[in-house]
A and B are shown apart, each in its own frame.
Chain A
Amino acid sequence: MIKEQKITKPTTLSPKLVRDLREKIIEFVLFLAAFSAVATTVAIMYVLLAESVLFFQEVSPLEFLTSTKWTPLFAEKNYGILPLVSGTLVTSGVALLVAIPMGTITAMYLSEFAPSRLREIIKPCLELLAAIPTVVYGYFALLFVTPFLQKIIPGLPGFNMLGAGLVMGLMIIPFISSISEDAMRSVPVGLREGSYAMGATRLQTAWRVVFPSAISGISSAYILGASRAVGETMIVAIAAGLQPKLTWNPLDEAATITAYIVQVSLGDLPHHSIEYQTIFAAGLTLVLMTLVLNIIGHFLAKRYREIY
């Protein structure tokens, strides 16, 4: 009955055609939304490269990579990225020295030792660690951690990479622990049972069986944590100082790539000036550094997934 009614309805387009057309249009709109991810990546690369090309017309890439001074905002201009890179590497290094051991131990405990109810409590608490705004972490580093460090290490300057790095390490722990824990938990139970059957304790099993089996997932966690540290901005901009300085001493103050971009953005620079272009060249360096880390990280994570 219903079908007959539908057919007798005077329509210019068959309902099926309208329906199919609507489905196609919806699918296309959804595709465009998904494609926005690609568009964003392309836009990022376009903006960074376009401004960097202008920058490298003024400054030779050789000077950019080898000069040991970065003073684009001074009268005597030097464009060597090395001081900013050294600042970035030192702060990230300090952060990883804190985050890798603590993150690994946390992951190992949560995956191999903790009763499930305790895990349900600890995991959300760790997530909150990652949820705190980085500007608040910067405040901690500058006004609580650095004064505390100054009591232990006399002569420590008010801005230093050590305090910033330590606090950044605290921030990265949850990233490292959650990815490492996932990697350890996906090690087949059979491997653990084999180890227990041989009389190994939980700790021995965790260290000698689970950890090596999950090593590529865990190292991917370390590398993604490193990429996070390299790109972190507010903590270092607040607590590590804004002086570009080629130094490997964490007790020193030095600017990172990200801190330099913040410093320039706080001022008011004309659009087409070379100072304006420097932040894009610095940004490009930063993106390339994190991109290499991310690619290695994902490659490792993928490899380990294929084993089991």
Chain B
Amino acid sequence: MSLILLAEQILNGLQSGIMLFLMAAGLTLVFGVMGLINLAHGSLYMVGAFAAAATAAATGSFLLALVASLAAAAAAGAIIEITVIRRLYARDHLDQVLATFALILIFSEGTRWLFGSFPLYLEVPRYLSGPVTLPGGIQYPLYRLAIIVVGLIVAAGLFWLIARTRLGIQIRAGESDREMIAALGVDISRLYTLVFALGAALAGLAGALVGAIQSVQVGMGEPVLILAFVVIVIGGIGSIKGALAGALLVGMTNTLGGILLPQLFGLFMDPASATTLGASLASMAIYVLMAGILVFRPSGLFAGAT
């Protein structure tokens, strides 16, 4: 395997890790602040992608499509928070799982009803299409490079928001003692709606950005949701830093495992069965990673930290 190919795969792993972080950040924030497990987070990813695809088809502008994905996912998030999610904070996790599972059914079938079962396509804009040559002679798609950069900027913005702004202080205070900040005069239900909408907007943005690489279809959020769960279990639930570390680890393992494992088995097996076995094991690699981490750190790598 050439070094150039390896570098390309590392960039791919970075790209999928960054997108996973956008998903996982919302999940882990909502869990950290409100103590809620939200299965419908994948639906918000899907809402973002569909909003982007529909807007791009109507206006032809990719930037407008991204704005639409943020707005639609944030709005959908705020609506379900006010109508449903709010009633679940005091409930046990079982009720939360079921209610948000019900929301998935409603979102998925509702989207199928609105847009039909066929996948939509979101085109990469012309100014971002085509490859770019990186130092070392690596040819890499410009669009993927752009979403790595966008993802990193958003991640930095999120860290700044939580560490440096008034909203961030309230979020961190809400994580450690929600009764106290309510007593100090913070409108807790408004804060919750805001945090939920923020997480939803990040998921929607990720959906739109990834939607331009893959197809936009019903159920697209579910595999990502499960990966995001693995991410926050690895990183420690409630920890943004943990979500970033976990996302990069999962993104890299998933991408590199698919390339390296078949080659590794090819060293001592015939190529056909090495490919089959390698592919099977690569699809399981992140779960093995998760199990391994849990044996040593049952509450994740960054448990307790924010």
The judgment on whether A and B are partners is: no
Q: Which residues of B contact A (CB under 8 A)?
A: none
